[in-house]
Amino acid sequence: MYYIVTIDDRGAIKRLGFKAHKAMSSSLEEIAVMIRVGARKIVPVDTGLLKSSIGIQGSKLLWKVGSATPYAFRVEHGTPPGHWPKYEDILGWVKRKQEVLGISRRAIPRVAYKVRWKIGLRGIKPRPYMLPAMKSVIPKIRRIVYKWIEALS
């Protein structure tokens, strides 16, 4: 799941010249980096894979920020009732959380079965991390726009 950071300029930037194009390109990269840093600070962590996979890709006036993990969207937006996760995935989660849950090794399969049923019947609440990170960058964009204006002077 990736979010796009770009400017829909319809050719206006080219008309402003190379200096403006370069300033806007570096500024968009700066915004993408700020979003990535913010998302990594607040993303829910279990194994750390989602957190470490949040990255940026792109160049010039088009940057993507996000994660390619298959569950990134489900963490950000949750799941509706009726989405049944794989038993093996839940079993792995219960094994990792065995000590926190305070269950015996023998109880792991039964607890995994019950957790899977609960997720299937009730869904999972969203735990947003990308959208709040993007919203946290909005106040900083004014400073970045001033940098663009200075680059044009």
In tens, the pLDDT along 45-68 reads 999 999 999 999 888 778 899 999
Q: Between 151 and 121, whose confidence is greater?
A: 121
Query: According to the model, what pLDDT value does residue 131 have?
Result: 93
| Host H or E run for residue 58 | strand 55-59
How would you classify the pairing of strands 2-6 and 62-66?
Answer: antiparallel
Q: For residue 152, what pLDDT band results from cuts at 50, 70 and 90?
A: low
In the chain, the amino acid numbered 147 is: K
Mean pLDDT of 109-132: 96
